[in-house]
Amino acid sequence: MKVVDKLVDIQNKIDASCERVGRDKSEVTIIAVTKYVSNERAFEAVEAGIVHLGENYEDGLLMKQEVLGDKPIWHFIGTLQTKKVKKIINKIDYLHSLDRLSLAEEIQKRADHPIKCLIQVNTSEEDSKHGIAKENVIGFIQELQKYDTIEIVGLMTMAAFTEDKDEIRRCFRELKSLQTEIIKLELLKTPFKHLSMGMSNDFEIAVEEGATMIRIGTSLVGE
């Protein structure tokens, strides 16, 4: 199926999810996750009108940027090794996986401009997932205040790997609750509006719980 047709289907589902909870559909941004897909398929996504592209791996990001250039808004959504920061940090618009001070320190050293970052939170509490514990997020934000190349714009999470929709919803709801708490504390001078949560199998629940960015791979650009 063509990307443009898949995009219509996903947008219709987003619209329906927003309508169910009284949200404005314009608040939700689709990030097309292009890992494992060809350059041609990524180009098709851009031609279909998708502005935001996400990559999990450094090499995939750099390879697709050679083809697509800076026309898309680039999101790095995978775990970023400290030693790889210098390769990509000035080539991305958003980093979704800030989860440790050593990474922040390397970004501070390598970035030549402020980088929009989302803190990755392990709301599912699964050992297999990266991210910091939700009870440590506020302290982490306070530590990050000394880095002027890090602009904290939101939070990211991945829901539990389960068929239990209530458990998936809990993961997303906890991230929204944490965002609300942080905003009330007025820890940040910049807008803290983004919740990056929801993928191909659970983005409708994520939208209902407040996602502003959903990361869609297979359902959108799968070949």
* Per-residue pLDDT band at 168 (split at 50, 70, 90): very high
What is the mean predicted confidence (pLDDT) over 141-158?
Answer: 97
Give me the CATH number covering residue 79.
3.20.20.10
What's the total number of domains in the chain? 1
For residue 7, what pLDDT band results from cuts at 50, 70 and 90?
very high
Give the pLDDT confidence of 202-220 residue by residue, as tens digits. 999 999 999 999 999 999 9
In the prediction, which pLDDT does 50 show?
A: 97
pLDDT at residue 164 tops 90: yes
Indicate if the pLDDT at residue 69 is higher than 90. Answer: no
Contacts of 33 (CB under 8 A, 6+ apart): 53, 54, 55, 56, 77, 199, 215, 216, 217, 220, 221
**Local confidence band at 93 (pLDDT 50, 70, 90 cut-offs):** very high
What is the average per-residue pLDDT within 64-78? 93
Mean per-residue pLDDT over the chain, rounded? 96
Among the listed residues 203, 205, 207, the one whose alpha carbon sits nearest the alpha carbon of residue 220: 203
The residue segments making up the domain with residue 187 are 3-221
pLDDT at 133 over 80: yes
Rg (Cα) of the chain, in Å, rounded?
17
